[in-house]
Structure 1
Amino acid sequence: MNEPLQDAILNGLYDQSYPGHELLSPKLLQNNQNDNIWLTLRQELLSCRSFTWAVAFITQDMLVPLKVVLADLARKNVSGTLITGDYLAFNNPRVFHELMKITNLTVKIAPNTGFHAKGYLFDHENWETLVIGSANFTRAALLSNYEWALKVSSKENAALTEQIKQQLEQLDETSQPLTTAWLSEYEANWVSPKPNAIQTRFTPTKIQKITPNQMQKEALKELTGLIASGQKRGLIVSATGTGKTYLGAFAVKDFHPKKFLYVVHREQIAKKALESFYQVIGGDRKDYGLLTGHKHQLERKYVFATVQTLSQPEMLANLSATEFDYILIDEAHRAAAPSYQRVFAKFTPQFWLGMTATPERMDDQDVYQLFDYNLAYEIRLRGALENKMLAPFHYVGVEDYEVDGESIDETTNLRRLLAPKRVDYVLKQLDYYGYCGKQAKGLIFCSRQEEARELAQIFTAKNHPAIALTNEDSEKRRMQVVKQLEQGNIEYIVTVDLFNEGIDIPALNQIIMLRNTQSSIVFIQQLGRGLRKYPGKDYVTVIDFIGNYKNNYLIPISLNQDNSRDLDKAREESKLPGFIDVSTINFSQVASAKILASLDRIKLDSMKELRQSYLDLKEKIGRPPLLLDFYHYGSTSPMVFANNHALKHYGQFLVKMGEPVALNKEQSAILSFVTKELLNGKRPHELVLLQLLLEKDKVTQSEFEEALAKYNAYINPAVLNSVEDILTLSFFDIKQGKTTKKEQYGNHALIERPDLFTYLLAPELKQALHDSQDFYRLFLDAVKTGLALNRDYDNQEQFTLYQQYDRKDACRLLNWPKDVSAPMYGYRVDKNETPIFITYKKDSAKKRSALYHNTLEDGRSLRWYTRSPRHLDSDEVKRLLNTPDMKLHIFVKKSDAIGKQFFYLGQANIQKETVKEEQLGPKKKATVGMNLLLNKPLRAKMYELLFAD
C-alpha cells in the first residue's frame, strides 16, 4: 500500500484506480455553482505552515476575504510572502496600501518588467501544494471568471516542487520589499490603465438610456397580466437599490393613465421620484407636480404627494373618488397607518400599485391584504445581487472587543462600550478591512442614542470626523449631514435605527454594525443602505462586531436570506464562507464560534417560531398555507414541521393555529405515517406510487415503472419489494415498547396487491380520502411536498453524496424488510451491504462511543472500530472482511449534539493491512480497528464542515 500522497499523485496523473484524495490529489480548479478557486486557496491557507505567492495582478475587492483568513492565521503565528509587481500599472496604489496593513504578510515587488506569474505555493508539514494557472488574485478570477488552475501536491524533495521553489527563491532574492518610499513613487507616477477587453469589467459602465433590466421586464409582464385579468390592486417587493422607483415609472408609462398619483411619507423621496419618473416617461415638464406642505400642484398630470398633506380631511374633501386612475403607494409597508387608510377609503382608481422593499412588518400589519394578496413580483436581495443590480458587498463578522475574557453583550454599560481600548480596537478593525475608494464614507449603527453622540465625538477627536444622527434630528439636518458625508467633509455618520429605510446614501463604502442583531428585517434594511451602485464603488465593506449576543444566530440566516429554520443549514452557514454571486460572507473563527454558541441556545423550530412563520406566510398569500406553500415561497422548511416531536402531522399544527381541520384517529395516523416516513423525499418511489393512485383507481407495475423513469429513479426487484413493505407497513412491524410503529401508524396498509402486476389503494385509505376533504387535501399536500423535496436527491443512487440520513433512512433505502435501526447503533453487517455511522467528535469521554477514537487518519481514510467485545475470528468481523464485493456505506456527523442525521460520504473500502485487534477503554475490551478508505475524496467544503477544528 502506497502512502496517501503517492496514491493521490498516481490517481490524478497516472491511473484513477489508485485511491484519490480531496486535499492531495491533482485537481483542475474552476469557478462554478458548487465551488470556486478561492475556497481551495482559503482551505490551503487555513491548514498550511507558511505560504509564498507570486501573483501579477491583485484587486482590492478580493483583499477583504483574504484579510479575514490572515487575521486568524496571525493568531497561530502563520505568515507568508506575496510577490507581485507593477506590470501594465494594473495594480492600483490602494492595493499596496491595503497589503501593508497585513502584519503577517511580507510583500515584495518583482523586478521583471513583464512579471505575469500566477502561482500559489503552500508549505504543509509533510508536503507542499502548488496552485498554478490563469487566476490572478482578483475577485472576478477567484469567484466568477472562466478560469483554469491546476492544484498539485508533492513532497518537498520532488523535482517539480524543487523547480518551483528555486524559481520563487530567485524571485524573492531579486525582488524588493514593499516600502512606503517605493509606494510613494509608484503612486506619484501611476496612471490608471485604459480599459481594454480584459479590464473592462473592473471599470464603471457608462450611463445609458434608462431601460428595464431583465428582472424589471419580468415584473412588468406580471403586472400587465394582473391588470388584464381584472385585478384592481397589486404589490411588488423590490430590494433597496434595485430600481424600485424606475420600475414604478415603467409600469405607469405602460398604463398610460389620464392622471396619476404617487404617495410616500417623505417630501425628499417624492421629489426624487418625480425626477425619476420624468426621466422614464418624459413629455412636458409642466405635467409633473408636487403635493406637499410647500406645494399644491394638483392640476398636474403626474402628482407626487406626501401622505401627510394628501390625507388631510380638507384636502381629500376637494378631490373626487375618481380623480386618479392609477395610484402608486411607495414604501407600501406603511400603508396600514391611519393616514394611508384615509387615502384608500377616498379613492377608487382603476389600479392601485404598492411597492416596498420590506413587506414583512414587525407590527403585525397585513401589507399583502391591502393589495388583495396579489404579489405581482419579488426582487429580493439575493436575486438582485445575482442579477448584478446592486454593488457587491464583503461582509466580515469579527469578534467584539474583550476584557478579561468577557465580550460585549446586551447588558454592557455605556462606559464600557465607549472605553478607549474598545474604540481603538474598533478603529483598528475599520482600518484593517478598509473600504473601496480614497476615503471612508461609512454608516455606523450602534445601540443607544447617547452612545451614538459620544462615539461621533471620540471618532472626530481621533481624526476620523463623524456626526451622530438620531430621530431627534430634523429631516433638513439629516440631509445636510448626508451631503457632508458624500462630499468627504466627514467620514462617518453614527446612528441607531434612523437609516433603516427611506434614505439611501449611494456613496457609502462601509457599513459598521456595533449593535446586537435584533431582527432579520432590520439587518437586511441596514445592510441595504450601502448597496446602491455608485461611480467608482466596486464593493461595500460590511464590518459586524459580534459580541456575546443571544441573537447572533440571526446573522448568517439574514445574510443568506435563509428562512428554512433548518438548524443543520444554519450551522453550515455559520461555519463556512458564503457567496452571493461575487459578494462574500466571512466570519473570523472566534466570531463563528460565538454564532454557533448562540445557535445552540436557540430553538429555531419552537412552536412560537413556527407560529410566526405560519402567520407571515398566511398574510402573504391570503389563506392558511400548506406545506407545499412553505416550500414554494422559500419559507420554513417543510421538514422542520415533519421533524417536530410535538406534531404528528401538519394538520395537527393547523388545529393549533385555530384552523377548522377535522380528522379522525385513523386519518391522523395515516397522515402521520406519510409525514414522518415519506415527506423527506429521500426516495421518490413510494410518493410516486401514491400520487398515481390518487389519480386513478388501479396502477399497473409497468405504469409505476414508467412514472419512476420520469423521476430518473433506479428500478429493480429489491426496491419494488421495499416499496410494498413500506406502504403495507410491514417494514414497521417491530416492537417498540408496548406497541409497534405499525400500530402507531394505524395498523392498516395504504396499498393492496391483488396480483403481481397491480397496485390499488387499500379500502380504508380510499374511503378516508373520499369521506374527508381535509384529509384528502393534507394527504395530497404531503405527497406533493415530498416529491418537491426529492429534487435535492440523485434518484439514480440509493444515497446521495453529502445529503443527510439517519439509521432508519438507511434501513429503508437499503431495501431491508424491517426497520432494525433501533439495535443498529454504529453499524450492521448485512449480506452484501453494511451501513456504518460514525460520530467524529465525541461530546463526552464517559460515553461508550467516546472510547472509539475515530480519526481522519490522512484526510482520506477514517480509523474505525467494531463493537466490543469483537475479535478477528468473530463471525461478524469475518463477514465484514471476507464477503466479496461487500459495500460499505459511510455516514458521518460532527458530534452527538447535532441530532440523528449523518452526512453520507459515499462508499469505502477496508485497508486490509490496517486491520488489527485492539484493546480500548479502561476495561480493555477487545475490538477490531481498521482504516476505511473513501472511494470518492471529500470535497473541501465537507472536509471543513465535518473534520476541521
Structure 2
Amino acid sequence: MNNNNELQQAVLHGLLNQQQYAANEMLAPKLLVNTKHETIWEHLLDEFGTCQSFGIAVAFITKDMLTPFKAVMNELAARNVSGYLLTSDYLGFNEPTMFAELLKIKNLTVKITPASGFHTKGYLFDKGIEKTVIVGSANLTRSAMLTNYEWNLRLTSTSDGELFSQVKDQFDQQWQESALLTDEWIARYAASYVKPQFNQAKRQIDKQKLSSVKITPNQMQKQALVNLAKLRKNKARRALLISATGTGKTYLGAFDVQAFAPKRFLFVVHREQILEAARTSFRNVLGGLAADFGILSGKRHQTDAKYLFATVQTLSKPEVLAKFDPAEFDYLMIDEAHRSGAESYQRVLNYFEPRFTLGMTATPERTDDFDVFKLYDHNVAYEIRLQQALAEDMLCPFHYIGVTDYEVNGELIDETANLSRLVSDERVDHILQQLEYYGDSSRPAHGLIFCSRQDEAKQLAELLSKRGHLSCALTNEQSITQREIAVKQLEKGQLEYLVTVNIFNEGIDIPCVDQLILLRNTQSSIVFIQQLGRGLRKYPGKKYVTVIDFIGNYKNNYLIPLALHDDHSASKDRAKRELAFKPILGLSTISFSPIAKQRIFSALDAVKLDSMYELKQEFMAVKKRLGQAPLLSDYLDQGSLDPRVFLKNARLDNYGHFLSKMRENVTLNKYQDQLLTFVTKELAFGKRPHELLLLQLLLKNNLVSEQELVDVFDEYGCYHNDQLLNSLDMILGLDFFAIKSGKKLKSDDYGGQALITHDGFYYQLAPGFKAALAQGGDFGRLLSDAINCGLRLNRDYDNKQQFTLYQRYDRKDVCRLLNWQKDLSAPMYGYWVGEQECPIFITYHKDKKIAASRNYQNTLANNSAIRWYTRSPRTLESAEVKRLLEVDDHGKRHLKLHVFAKRSDAEGKGYTYLGQADILPGSVAEETMTTDKAKRKRVVGMDLKFRQPLPYKQLKYLTGDQEAK
C-alpha cells in the first residue's frame, strides 16, 4: 500500500513536471500500448493480481480472449476476488456463444446495457485505498490486448479522486439500468442474432487479389534457400530441413526445386493423402501443365511426369523401382524424413542416384537407434523453430493453461500412481470440469489427449465416451489403417477426443485439432514441443488452440517453461522468471494456476539444470547431429545448450576438460591448458570484444600495430581510448589479476606469464604463447573456438560504450570494463568510489537474515529513481561521501555513477546494468540504521535518478514479489 504523498508525486510527475517530480511507475499516469516489449494484457494482469475487486465495461469481447481471461478469473476466485462485467449487443459483434462462455465464470457477474451505441472501453480496479482506472480504445479482444495499435490511459487515485469517482459513477449508473446475463437472455438473443458482415465487399476484393498474387518465400524460407544453395555449392549431395508441422516446408521444398531446376523430380511420402496436397503446392510455385505433375500410388502410375509424387509403399516395390533408371531423377525429396530408416525408404534411397536429396521433417530426434542426421550427411540446411514460426504467423496461436492434476488427501498424481487413481471417477470429473471451463461449448471438440500408459488411455476413452464425450484410445496396438479411420472420425466430428500414448508425438497431421490435453509426465522438452505442435496447424475457422496441461507431482515439470520459451540457458533463475510473469508469445498466451506454478518451482528447486549428466546428454545430441564432437560455437549454430553453461561451470576449467570427460581424445600440455582456461573464464563470455579481437588478429599476424588494432575496433563498432588500450595491456599481461588468492596470486592460475607483448607501437604474442601454439595438439582449435564463441556471444552487447543496458555483469566484469588496473571485486561489496567512476551494486530482495539486521531497504518502485544508502558508519563529512557529492565549478558531479541490480541472491553473482544515474538535489540526508545487535549506525541516503528510465518489464521483475525466487 502506498501513501498519499507517493501518489501525489506520481500524479505531479505525470501531469505537471516529469523532471521535477520522481514517480512510482506503478502509480504514475501512463499510456498503455502494445509493443514488442509489453502488451496491454500484461498491464491488466498486474492490476488483476493486486485488486480486491474489479469492474469492466467494454463493447466487444471475443471468444479467443476468453481462455486466458478465464485462467485469470480462476486465480482470482482462489483469492475470493470477484468482479463485474458490463457489455452490450451493439452491432451484433458479441456472439451468443461468447455470452454463454461468460456464464461459466462463477466469480464474474455480467450485465447487458440497453444503452444505444455503447462503445465503452474501461477497466476499474479497487485495491483498497488505491483505485486504478484504464480507459481508451481496447476492447476485451485478443488482437486489442496483444497486438493492435491501441491507446489506453492508466490513472491511479484514491477513492476521493474526482476522476475515478466520475468513471465509477458512470459505471454504477449503467449497471443499475442493465439486465443480468442469464441463459434466458442468451436464448432470446440467439433467436434473433444475425452475424454482422463487416466489410464483406472489401474482403471479397482482397480475396481475389490474394488469389492472383504470386507465391513468394517468407523471410525464414529465404534464409533456408540461401543455406541450401550454399550447401550444394560446397558439393553436398544430401541435406536435412527441420521444420515444424504447419510452417510451410512443402512450399519451401517447392521453392528449392524451382531454384535447382531439375530435369526430373521425385517427391516421396508415406501417406497417400499427402500426395494431392503436395502436388498442388508444387504446381502453385512451379507452374506448368497439369500433365507435368504425376502421381505414383495405388492404381495411379503416372510415371512419365516431370514432377512425380509417390508413396513409399508403391515406389519401394522392387518391380516398380526396376521401371526407373537409377539416375532418372536429379532431385529427390523425402517428406517425413525421420522415417528414412525404414526398409522401404532405404530401398528407395539406395536405388536412386540423384544429384541432390533433401529430407524434410519436423522431428529428426529419434527414440530408436537410427541416425537420421548421418543418413543426410549431417547437413542441416535450416531449422524453423516453434517460437520463430509463431512470430512469423505461420502457426495457429495457442492458449496454454497449466492446471493442477487430481489430488487426493493432499497427494497429487505422479508417474507412479496406480491405474485406479488415474481413471477414477473423481479424476475424470476433475478433467471434465477443466475441459468444460476452458473449452468452447458452442462447437464440438477436436482434441488429442496425451496420457501416461496404454491401460489408462483405453479406460479413459471409455469413461469419457460414457460421459457423452465420444473418444477413442489409440496406442501402438492399433494398425495404421485403424488409426487413420479414427482420425477421419475426429475430423468429421464423430469423435471428440483421441486418447493416445506417444504415437501422435510426430508424423501425424490433423489440422482440425483445436484442443490438446496433456495428462502425462513431461518426458523431455522435445516431446513436449512435438505434442504441442500437433494442434498448431492453421485450419479454416480455427482461431486458436486450447492447451490444458494437468500438472501433477512430476519430477520433470520444470521442463515446461523451458520448452515453451525455447530456453537453453540452464538457468533456474531465468526459468522461474519466465514462469512467474505470465509470458506472451505473439498472439499466444501462457498461464499457470498458482498451485501448478508452485509445483514447477519445486521441481526446479530439486533439479540441477547444468549437472554433468545434462551436459553430457546435450553433448551427445549435438554430436549425433554433426557427426563429430561439438565445439562451443557448434552449440550456438544448432540452437542448442547455451555455451555459457560450460564457461561458467566451476567444475570445468575449460571445454577441453569437458571433452576429456566425454572420452574424446584431447591433447593439452599444462601451459596450453592454463591459457585456454584464461580465455574461457575471463574473455569467452563476450562482455567486451576488445581482447578477443586482438588475440584473433595475433593468431593471424605476427605483428599488429596499434593503428591496425584501432581500425579493427572501428570496423567492429567498438569504442576505444587510451584507458581502454592500457586496460588491454593489463588484462592480457595478467597484471589485472595479480592479487592474492589464498597463498598465491590469481594470475598464477593462468600460467603467470603475459599473453602478449606491447612496446607502445606493436603487439605480439608473448614467447610462451607462441611456443604453446607451436607445440600443437588441440590447443589451437580449442583456443580459436573459445575466441569465436566469445565474439558471437558479444553480439548481444553494445560495444560503443563500456556497459550495455539490462545485460548482466559481475563485480570482476565491472572492474575490467571500467578499465581499472586491478581486480578490486573482492573488497568492493556494495560499491566502490573510484577516481572517475563509482559502480553501485544493489540486491533488491535481501536475504531474510540480512534484511532483519538492518532497518532500511533500497526502494525501486519508481522506474526513474532509486533510494540508495552508503555503507555504515558514514556521515556527510566522510571522505567517501564527499567524493560522491563533489561537483565542479559548473555544478557537475565528478563521478559517474553506474547502477547494477539483481532481484535476489538466488540469481548468483551477476547484476543487471540499469545505466548511469545522477544524485537528485535535495535528496541527500544522514539517516540512522539499527543493526541486529541494536546498535545504531549512521548512513547517508540519497535518490539516484536514472538517466534512462527502466523499461516496464525490468521494473516489474526487480520489484515484483518473490514468487520467482
Report what 1:85 is aligned to: 88
Deviation at 1:923, TM superposition (A): 5.6
Among 890, 893, 918, the alignment partner of 2:929 is 918
The amino acid across from 1:942 in the alignment is: Q
Contact kept, 8 Å, 2:57 with 2:171, in 1: the verdict is yes
Separation in 2, partners of 1:933, 1:178: 52
State TM-score, norm by structure 1: 0.91
The verdict on how the C-alpha distance between 1:759 and 1:15 changes in structure 2, with shifts beyond 3 A counting, is: farther
C-alpha distance in 2 between matches for 1:832 and 1:220? 52
Match of 2:906 among 877, 881, 897: 897
Structure 1 residue 73 and structure 2 residue 65: aligned?
no
1:391-410 alignment to 2 at 5 Å?
391-410=396-415
Once residues 7 and 283 of structure 1 are traced to their aligned partners in structure 2, the CA distance between those partners, rounded to angstroms, is: 73
Contact kept in structure 2, 1:852 and 1:865, CA below 8 Å: no
Q: How far 1:734 sits from its partner (Å)?
A: 1.2
Aligned-pair CA distance for 1:571: 2.6
Partner of 1:154: 157
- Number of the residue aligned with 1:945: 957
Counterparts of 1:360-379 in structure 2 under 5 Å?
360-379=365-384
Alignment equivalent of 2:453, drawn from 423, 427, 448: 448
| Contact 1:436 1:539 survives alignment (8 Å) | no
Match of residue 433 from structure 1: 438
- Provide the C-alpha distance between the structure 2 equivalents of 1:470 and 1:881, rounded to a whole number of angstroms: 71
Does residue 110 of the first structure (1) align with residue 119 of the second (2)? Answer: no
Deviates more, 1:413-422 or 1:218-227: 218-227
Question: Shift of residue 284 of structure 1?
Answer: 4.8
* Alignment equivalent of 1:777, drawn from 770, 774, 781: 781
Is residue 288 from structure 1 mapped to residue 288 from structure 2 by the alignment?
no
Q: In 2 relative to 1, CA 112–703 (structure 1 residues): closer, same or farther, beyond 3 Å?
A: farther
Residue 890 of structure 2 corresponds to none
Q: CA RMSD in A?
A: 3.4
Aligned residue among 400, 409, 416 for 1:411: 416
State the 1:551 CA deviation.
0.9
Q: How does 1:436-585 map to 2 (within 5 A)?
A: 438-585=443-590
Cα deviation for residue 357 of structure 1 reads: 0.7
Task: Report the Cα distance in structure 2 between the residues aligned to 1:570 and 1:296, rounded to whole angstroms.
Answer: 54
Q: Does 1:790 align with 2:794?
A: yes
SS in 1 for 2:368: coil
1:169 maps to which residue? 172
The aligned length equals 943
Distance 1:84 1:324, change over 3 A: same
CA distance in 2, matches of 1:858, 1:234: 52
Q: Is the counterpart of residue 326 in structure 1 residue 331 in structure 2?
A: yes
SS of structure 1 residue aligned to 2:359: strand
What CA distance in whole angstroms lies between the structure 2 residues aligned with 1:360 and 1:879? 63
1:29 partnered with 2:40? no
CA–CA separation in structure 2 for the residues paired with 1:197 and 1:13:
44
| Deviation of the 1:187 alpha carbon | 2.0
Partner deviation per Cα, 1:702-747 (whole Å, 9 max, x = no partner): 5544544445444454444333322221121111112221000111
The SS at the match of 1:563 is: coil
Counterpart of 2:98 in structure 1 is: 95
Unaligned segments of structure 2, at least 5 residues: 888-892
Instruction: Report SS of the residue matched to 2:374.
Output: helix
Q: d(CA) in 1 for partners of 2:177 and 2:942?
A: 47
Q: Distance in 1 between matches of 2:586 and 2:199?
A: 23
What's the offset of the Cα at 1:545?
0.9
Tell me what 2:48 maps to. Answer: 45
**2:631 corresponds to which residue?**
626
1:794 deviates by 3.2
Aligned with 1:823: secondary structure?
Answer: helix
- Whether the aligned pair in 2 keeps the contact of 1:263 and 1:330 (CA below 8 Å) is yes
User: Which amino acid letter does the alignment assign opposite residue 59 of structure 1?
Assistant: T
SS of the residue corresponding to residue 147 of structure 1 reads coil
Q: Is residue 215 of structure 2 the alignment partner of residue 211 of structure 1? A: yes
* Alpha-carbon distance in 1 for matches of 2:883, 2:601: 38
1:444 offset after TM fit, Å? 0.8
Cα separation, 1, equivalents of 2:653 and 2:633: 17
CA 1:708/1:593 → structure 2, altered by over 3 Å: closer, same or farther?
farther
Greater shift in the superposed pair: 462-471 or 818-827: 818-827
Instruction: Determine if contact 2:573/2:906 at 8 Å carries over to the other structure.
Output: no
Distance 1:544 1:875, change over 3 A: same
Q: Which residue of 2 aligns with 1:765?
A: 769
Q: Do 1:872 and 1:917's aligned partners in 2 also have CA atoms closer than 8 Å?
A: no
Q: Which residue of 739, 745, 752 maps to 2:750?
A: 745
Query: 1:191 pairs with 190, 194, 203, which one?
Result: 194
Distance in 2 of aligned mates of 1:583 and 1:780: 41
Instruction: Report the 3-state secondary structure (helix = DSSP H, G, I; strand = E; otherwise coil) of the residue aligned with 2:483.
Output: helix
Q: Is contact 2:867-2:944 (8 Å) kept?
A: no
- One-letter identity of the residue aligned with 1:597: S
1:804 aligns with 2:772: no
Q: CA deviation at 1:588?
A: 2.4
* Corresponding residue SS for 1:653: helix
The answer as to whether partners of 1:437 and 1:536 remain within 8 angstroms in 2 is no
Q: Pick the aligned partner of 2:687 from 682, 687, 699.
A: 682
Greater CA deviation, 570-579 or 858-867? Answer: 858-867
> Match of 2:798, as an amino acid?
D
The change in CA–CA distance for 1:402 and 1:904 in structure 2 (over 3 A counts) is: farther
Identify if the C-alpha distance between structure 1 residues 632 and 245 changes in structure 2 by more than 3 Å, giving closer, same or farther. closer
Distance, in Å, in 2 between the alignment partners of 1:260 and 1:135 is 51
What residue identity is the alignment partner of 2:160?
N
Counterparts of 1:615 and 1:370, CA distance in 2? 17
- Any conservation in 1 of the 2:462–2:472 contact (CA below 8 Å)? yes
Deviates more, 1:189-198 or 1:339-348: 189-198
Would you say the 8 A contact 2:283–2:293 is kept in 1? no
**Are 2:758 and 2:764, in contact at CA under 8 Å, matched by a contact in 1?**
yes
Aligned residues of 2:924 and 2:940 also touching (Cα < 8 A): no
Superimposed CA distance per residue, residues 734-793 of structure 1 (whole angstroms, 9 cap, x where no aligned partner) = 1111222100011112233312x5544333324434543733333233223222222222
1:271–1:290 Cα contact (<8 Å) kept: no
Deviation at 1:879, TM superposition (A): 4.8
Indicate the SS of the match to 1:327: strand
Pairwise CA distance, 1:582: 1.3
Counterpart code for 1:132? V
> Secondary structure of 1:511's partner?
strand
Structure 1 distance, partners of 2:5, 2:560, is: 43
Query: Cα distance 1:482–1:344, how it changes in 2: closer, same or farther (>3 A)?
Result: closer
SS at match of 1:288: strand
- Select between 675-684 and 313-322 the one with higher mean Cα deviation: 313-322
Q: Tell me which amino acid in the other structure corresponds to 1:532.
A: R
**1: distance between equivalents of 2:739 and 2:438?**
59
- Aligned partner of residue 236 in structure 2, secondary structure: coil
Q: Which residue of 2 aligns with 1:179?
A: 182
1:111-155 alpha-carbon deviations (Å, 9 max, x no partner):
222122222222234333332222222222222222222333233
Q: Closer, same or farther in 2 for the Cα pair 1:246/1:189, shift >3 Å?
A: same
Match of 2:425 among 420, 428, 433: 420
Pair 1:614 & 2:629 matched: no
* Cα distance change of structure 1 residues 858 and 803 upon mapping to structure 2, 3 Å threshold: closer
Cα contact 1:565–1:637 (8 A) shared by 2:
yes
The letter for the 2-side match of 1:7 is Q
SS in 2 for 1:918: strand
Distance, in Å, in 2 between the alignment partners of 1:164 and 1:305 is: 66
More deviation in 873-882 or 123-132?
A: 873-882
Distance in 1 (alpha carbons) for counterparts of 2:450 and 2:208:
31
Given that residues 330 and 355 in structure 2 are in contact (C-alpha distance below 8 angstroms), is that contact kept between their aligned partners in structure 1? yes
Deviation at 1:447, TM superposition (A): 0.6
Within-5 A mapping of 1:867-886 = 870=873, 872=875, 875=878, 878-879=881-882, 882-884=885-887, 885=893
For structure 1, which runs of at least 5 residues remain unmatched after alignment? none
Q: SS state of the match for residue 236, structure 1?
A: strand
Q: 1:854 to 1:111 in 2, by over 3 A?
A: farther
Question: What's the TM-score, normalizing by structure 2?
Answer: 0.89
